[in-house]
Amino acid sequence: MAAIGMPPHILALFQAREPLAPLPALKAKQPRPYAGVAEYLKKFESGPPPAASAFESPKQRQQRLKRQKLLLHLQQQQRQAEAYRPLEDPRIQGDPFATLFVGKLSYETSEKKLRREFEVYGPVRRVRVVRDPRGRPRGYAFVEFERDRDMKEAYKKADGTKIDGRRVLVDVERARTVPGWLPRRLGGGRGPPRGAGRNQPDLSSLVAHIGGPSGAPPGSRERERERERDRERDRDRERDRDRERERRHRRSRSRSRDKRRDDRDRDRRR
Protein backbone atom coordinates (compact mmCIF):
# COMPACT_ATOMS: atom_id res chain seq x y z
CA MET A 1 0.00 0.00 0.00
CA ALA A 2 1.28 3.50 -0.84
CA ALA A 3 2.38 5.99 1.77
CA ILE A 4 -0.76 8.16 1.37
CA GLY A 5 -2.96 5.20 2.18
CA MET A 6 -4.27 4.28 -1.32
CA PRO A 7 -3.54 1.10 -3.26
CA PRO A 8 -1.42 1.45 -6.44
CA HIS A 9 -4.29 0.81 -8.87
CA ILE A 10 -6.27 3.68 -7.31
CA LEU A 11 -3.24 5.98 -7.03
CA ALA A 12 -2.58 5.54 -10.78
CA LEU A 13 -5.84 7.35 -11.49
CA PHE A 14 -4.44 10.54 -9.94
CA GLN A 15 -1.16 10.63 -11.91
CA ALA A 16 -0.59 13.76 -14.07
CA ARG A 17 -0.84 13.35 -17.84
CA GLU A 18 1.48 14.75 -20.49
CA PRO A 19 1.07 18.46 -21.35
CA LEU A 20 -0.99 19.37 -24.43
CA ALA A 21 0.81 20.05 -27.68
CA PRO A 22 1.01 23.78 -28.54
CA LEU A 23 -1.14 25.04 -31.46
CA PRO A 24 -0.74 28.21 -33.52
CA ALA A 25 -2.98 31.17 -32.61
CA LEU A 26 -5.96 32.02 -34.82
CA LYS A 27 -5.37 34.74 -37.37
CA ALA A 28 -7.83 37.66 -37.47
CA LYS A 29 -9.83 37.74 -40.74
CA GLN A 30 -10.36 40.92 -42.68
CA PRO A 31 -14.02 41.97 -42.17
CA ARG A 32 -16.22 42.57 -45.21
CA PRO A 33 -16.75 46.25 -45.93
CA TYR A 34 -20.20 47.76 -45.49
CA ALA A 35 -22.22 48.22 -48.67
CA GLY A 36 -25.33 50.30 -49.39
CA VAL A 37 -28.77 49.13 -50.50
CA ALA A 38 -28.93 51.14 -53.69
CA GLU A 39 -28.13 48.14 -55.81
CA TYR A 40 -31.22 46.34 -54.44
CA LEU A 41 -33.74 49.11 -55.20
CA LYS A 42 -34.34 47.76 -58.69
CA LYS A 43 -35.65 44.53 -57.18
CA PHE A 44 -38.64 46.31 -55.51
CA GLU A 45 -42.04 46.36 -57.25
CA SER A 46 -43.02 49.65 -58.79
CA GLY A 47 -46.84 49.23 -58.58
CA PRO A 48 -49.14 50.01 -55.60
CA PRO A 49 -48.92 47.65 -52.64
CA PRO A 50 -51.53 44.89 -52.38
CA ALA A 51 -54.55 45.47 -50.20
CA ALA A 52 -54.20 44.27 -46.63
CA SER A 53 -56.02 41.02 -45.99
CA ALA A 54 -58.67 41.04 -43.28
CA PHE A 55 -57.36 39.69 -40.01
CA GLU A 56 -59.64 38.31 -37.33
CA SER A 57 -58.27 38.36 -33.83
CA PRO A 58 -59.07 35.50 -31.45
CA LYS A 59 -61.43 37.76 -29.50
CA GLN A 60 -63.27 38.83 -32.67
CA ARG A 61 -63.61 35.21 -33.73
CA GLN A 62 -65.00 34.28 -30.32
CA GLN A 63 -67.58 37.09 -30.53
CA ARG A 64 -68.56 36.12 -34.08
CA LEU A 65 -69.10 32.48 -33.15
CA LYS A 66 -71.06 33.51 -30.07
CA ARG A 67 -73.37 35.73 -32.10
CA GLN A 68 -73.91 32.97 -34.65
CA LYS A 69 -74.77 30.55 -31.86
CA LEU A 70 -77.21 33.03 -30.31
CA LEU A 71 -78.84 33.67 -33.67
CA LEU A 72 -79.36 29.94 -34.27
CA HIS A 73 -80.76 29.56 -30.76
CA LEU A 74 -83.24 32.42 -31.23
CA GLN A 75 -84.36 31.04 -34.58
CA GLN A 76 -84.93 27.62 -33.06
CA GLN A 77 -86.70 29.21 -30.09
CA GLN A 78 -89.01 31.12 -32.41
CA ARG A 79 -89.93 27.96 -34.34
CA GLN A 80 -90.68 26.12 -31.09
CA ALA A 81 -92.74 29.05 -29.79
CA GLU A 82 -94.84 29.10 -32.95
CA ALA A 83 -95.47 25.35 -32.59
CA TYR A 84 -96.28 25.62 -28.86
CA ARG A 85 -99.87 24.41 -28.38
CA PRO A 86 -100.47 23.53 -24.72
CA LEU A 87 -104.21 23.07 -25.24
CA GLU A 88 -103.53 20.39 -27.86
CA ASP A 89 -100.82 18.51 -25.93
CA PRO A 90 -102.13 15.04 -24.95
CA ARG A 91 -99.70 14.89 -22.02
CA ILE A 92 -101.33 17.94 -20.38
CA GLN A 93 -104.54 16.81 -18.72
CA GLY A 94 -106.89 17.85 -15.96
CA ASP A 95 -108.41 21.11 -14.80
CA PRO A 96 -105.95 23.99 -15.37
CA PHE A 97 -107.61 26.08 -12.64
CA ALA A 98 -106.95 23.35 -10.07
CA THR A 99 -103.37 22.67 -11.19
CA LEU A 100 -100.32 24.04 -9.40
CA PHE A 101 -96.88 24.53 -10.93
CA VAL A 102 -93.96 23.51 -8.69
CA GLY A 103 -90.48 24.67 -9.74
CA LYS A 104 -86.89 24.51 -8.47
CA LEU A 105 -87.32 20.85 -7.59
CA SER A 106 -84.48 18.54 -6.76
CA TYR A 107 -83.80 16.00 -9.49
CA GLU A 108 -84.20 13.30 -6.84
CA THR A 109 -87.77 14.30 -5.94
CA SER A 110 -90.32 11.70 -7.02
CA GLU A 111 -94.01 12.06 -7.79
CA LYS A 112 -94.83 10.02 -4.70
CA LYS A 113 -92.89 12.46 -2.51
CA LEU A 114 -94.66 15.45 -4.08
CA ARG A 115 -98.04 13.85 -3.50
CA ARG A 116 -97.25 13.40 0.20
CA GLU A 117 -96.08 17.00 0.51
CA PHE A 118 -99.16 18.56 -1.13
CA GLU A 119 -101.85 16.28 0.26
CA VAL A 120 -101.75 18.37 3.44
CA TYR A 121 -103.63 21.09 1.51
CA GLY A 122 -106.30 18.77 0.08
CA PRO A 123 -106.90 15.66 -2.05
CA VAL A 124 -104.48 15.42 -4.97
CA ARG A 125 -105.79 13.97 -8.20
CA ARG A 126 -102.62 13.78 -10.28
CA VAL A 127 -98.90 14.60 -10.04
CA ARG A 128 -96.66 14.85 -13.08
CA VAL A 129 -92.91 15.45 -12.97
CA VAL A 130 -91.85 16.81 -16.36
CA ARG A 131 -89.01 14.85 -17.97
CA ASP A 132 -86.84 15.25 -21.08
CA PRO A 133 -86.85 12.75 -23.99
CA ARG A 134 -84.23 10.69 -22.15
CA GLY A 135 -86.43 10.34 -19.10
CA ARG A 136 -84.45 12.69 -16.87
CA PRO A 137 -86.43 15.16 -14.70
CA ARG A 138 -86.31 18.81 -15.70
CA GLY A 139 -86.72 20.15 -12.16
CA TYR A 140 -90.40 21.12 -12.19
CA ALA A 141 -93.76 19.41 -11.90
CA PHE A 142 -97.54 19.95 -11.99
CA VAL A 143 -99.85 18.99 -9.14
CA GLU A 144 -103.59 18.78 -9.87
CA PHE A 145 -105.97 19.02 -6.91
CA GLU A 146 -109.49 17.72 -6.86
CA ARG A 147 -110.78 21.14 -5.75
CA ASP A 148 -109.58 24.53 -6.91
CA ARG A 149 -109.82 26.00 -3.39
CA ASP A 150 -107.21 23.47 -2.24
CA MET A 151 -104.96 24.64 -5.07
CA LYS A 152 -105.38 28.25 -3.92
CA GLU A 153 -104.49 27.25 -0.36
CA ALA A 154 -101.35 25.48 -1.57
CA TYR A 155 -100.50 28.47 -3.78
CA LYS A 156 -100.56 30.76 -0.76
CA LYS A 157 -98.73 28.55 1.73
CA ALA A 158 -96.49 26.12 -0.16
CA ASP A 159 -94.17 28.66 -1.75
CA GLY A 160 -90.72 28.33 -0.20
CA THR A 161 -91.39 24.89 1.25
CA LYS A 162 -88.23 22.80 1.51
CA ILE A 163 -88.50 19.47 -0.34
CA ASP A 164 -85.47 17.18 -0.52
CA GLY A 165 -83.21 19.98 0.65
CA ARG A 166 -84.42 22.63 -1.83
CA ARG A 167 -86.92 25.45 -1.39
CA VAL A 168 -89.47 25.14 -4.16
CA LEU A 169 -91.38 27.82 -6.05
CA VAL A 170 -95.11 27.40 -6.64
CA ASP A 171 -97.33 29.16 -9.14
CA VAL A 172 -100.62 28.66 -10.91
CA GLU A 173 -100.61 26.89 -14.27
CA ARG A 174 -100.38 29.63 -16.89
CA ALA A 175 -99.99 27.71 -20.14
CA ARG A 176 -103.73 26.97 -20.42
CA THR A 177 -105.06 29.92 -18.43
CA VAL A 178 -103.10 32.94 -19.74
CA PRO A 179 -103.47 33.70 -23.48
CA GLY A 180 -100.14 33.94 -25.26
CA TRP A 181 -98.17 32.59 -22.31
CA LEU A 182 -94.76 31.09 -23.12
CA PRO A 183 -92.55 29.06 -20.77
CA ARG A 184 -89.07 30.15 -19.80
CA ARG A 185 -87.36 27.93 -22.37
CA LEU A 186 -89.25 29.72 -25.17
CA GLY A 187 -88.42 33.24 -24.04
CA GLY A 188 -91.33 33.78 -21.65
CA GLY A 189 -91.73 32.92 -18.00
CA ARG A 190 -91.67 35.11 -14.92
CA GLY A 191 -88.95 37.46 -13.77
CA PRO A 192 -85.87 38.77 -15.58
CA PRO A 193 -84.19 36.66 -18.27
CA ARG A 194 -81.48 34.20 -17.44
CA GLY A 195 -78.14 35.84 -16.76
CA ALA A 196 -79.64 39.21 -15.84
CA GLY A 197 -77.14 41.38 -14.00
CA ARG A 198 -74.15 39.84 -15.76
CA ASN A 199 -72.31 41.09 -18.83
CA GLN A 200 -74.53 39.84 -21.62
CA PRO A 201 -74.35 40.79 -25.32
CA ASP A 202 -77.05 43.02 -26.75
CA LEU A 203 -79.53 40.71 -28.45
CA SER A 204 -81.94 43.39 -29.65
CA SER A 205 -80.49 43.40 -33.17
CA LEU A 206 -80.62 39.61 -33.35
CA VAL A 207 -84.20 39.52 -32.12
CA ALA A 208 -85.18 42.20 -34.63
CA HIS A 209 -83.40 40.27 -37.37
CA ILE A 210 -85.50 37.14 -36.87
CA GLY A 211 -88.67 38.91 -35.83
CA GLY A 212 -88.45 38.18 -32.11
CA PRO A 213 -90.12 35.38 -30.21
CA SER A 214 -93.89 35.35 -30.45
CA GLY A 215 -95.82 36.05 -27.30
CA ALA A 216 -98.61 38.03 -25.73
CA PRO A 217 -99.20 41.67 -26.68
CA PRO A 218 -97.55 44.25 -24.41
CA GLY A 219 -100.88 45.24 -22.88
CA SER A 220 -101.79 41.73 -21.80
CA ARG A 221 -98.29 41.18 -20.41
CA GLU A 222 -98.62 44.36 -18.32
CA ARG A 223 -102.01 43.26 -16.99
CA GLU A 224 -100.57 39.85 -16.11
CA ARG A 225 -97.68 41.52 -14.26
CA GLU A 226 -100.16 43.65 -12.30
CA ARG A 227 -102.22 40.57 -11.35
CA GLU A 228 -99.04 38.79 -10.30
CA ARG A 229 -98.03 41.73 -8.10
CA ASP A 230 -101.48 41.61 -6.46
CA ARG A 231 -101.09 37.90 -5.79
CA GLU A 232 -97.64 38.46 -4.32
CA ARG A 233 -99.01 41.15 -1.99
CA ASP A 234 -101.81 38.82 -0.87
CA ARG A 235 -99.27 36.08 -0.24
CA ASP A 236 -97.07 38.45 1.79
CA ARG A 237 -100.05 39.54 3.91
CA GLU A 238 -100.93 35.90 4.59
CA ARG A 239 -97.37 35.18 5.67
CA ASP A 240 -97.34 38.25 7.94
CA ARG A 241 -100.56 37.08 9.59
CA ASP A 242 -99.06 33.62 10.12
CA ARG A 243 -95.95 35.12 11.70
CA GLU A 244 -98.03 37.35 13.96
CA ARG A 245 -100.14 34.39 15.12
CA GLU A 246 -96.97 32.44 15.84
CA ARG A 247 -95.50 35.35 17.85
CA ARG A 248 -98.70 35.68 19.88
CA HIS A 249 -98.65 31.95 20.55
CA ARG A 250 -95.03 32.16 21.76
CA ARG A 251 -95.84 35.10 24.05
CA SER A 252 -98.84 33.25 25.48
CA ARG A 253 -96.75 30.17 26.19
CA SER A 254 -94.05 32.32 27.79
CA ARG A 255 -96.61 34.02 30.08
CA SER A 256 -98.02 30.63 31.05
CA ARG A 257 -94.57 29.36 31.99
CA ASP A 258 -93.87 32.50 34.03
CA LYS A 259 -97.19 32.16 35.85
CA ARG A 260 -96.53 28.51 36.70
CA ARG A 261 -93.06 29.43 37.94
CA ASP A 262 -94.49 32.16 40.18
CA ASP A 263 -97.06 29.73 41.59
CA ARG A 264 -94.33 27.23 42.44
CA ASP A 265 -92.30 29.93 44.18
CA ARG A 266 -95.28 30.96 46.30
CA ASP A 267 -95.94 27.34 47.24
CA ARG A 268 -92.34 26.91 48.38
CA ARG A 269 -92.48 30.04 50.54
CA ARG A 270 -95.59 28.74 52.31
pLDDT for 182-226, tens place per residue? 887 787 776 655 555 454 445 444 445 444 444 444 455 566 666
Q: Give pLDDT, residue 203.
A: 46
Are 178 and 249 contained in the same domain?
Answer: no
Give the pLDDT mean for 88-96.
80
Pick the last residue of a domain from 116, 151, 185.
Answer: 185
CATH number for the domain including 175? 3.30.70.330
DSSP assignment string, 70-115: HHHHHHHHHHHHHT--GGG-TT--S-GGGEEEEES--TT--HHHHH
In a domain, 222, yes or no: no
H helix runs in the chain, sequence order: 8-11, 58-82, 111-118, 148-157, 204-210, 218-269
Q: Give pLDDT, residue 211.
A: 46
Pick the last residue of a domain from 185, 218, 253.
Answer: 185
In a domain, 79, yes or no: yes
Q: Could you give the percent of the chain with pLDDT greater than 70?
A: 73
In a domain, 57, yes or no: no
Q: Give pLDDT, residue 212.
A: 45
Q: Number of C-alpha atoms within 13 angstroms, CB side, residue 136?
A: 3
pLDDT for 43-88, tens place per residue? 888 888 888 888 899 999 999 999 999 999 999 988 888 888 887 7
In a domain, 128, yes or no: yes
Q: Give pLDDT, residue 64.
A: 94
Are 67 and 156 contained in the same domain?
Answer: yes
- Say which range, 63-67, 103-107, 160-164, 246-250, has the weakest mean pLDDT: 246-250
In a domain, 206, yes or no: no
Of 131, 149, 150, nearest in space to 141 by CA: 131
In a domain, 250, yes or no: yes
Residue 77 has phi, psi (to 5 degrees) of: -65, -40
In a domain, 23, yes or no: no
Strand partners, 172: 100
Report which of residues 177 and 224 the model is more confident about: 177
Are 171 and 240 contained in the same domain?
Answer: no
Look up the domain containing 179 and give its range. Answer: 63-185
Number of domains in the chain: 2
Are 137 and 71 contained in the same domain?
Answer: yes
pTM: 0.51
pLDDT for 146-156, tens place per residue? 998 998 899 98
**Measured between alpha carbons, how far is 195 from 67 in angstroms, rounded to an integer?**
16
In a domain, 192, yes or no: no
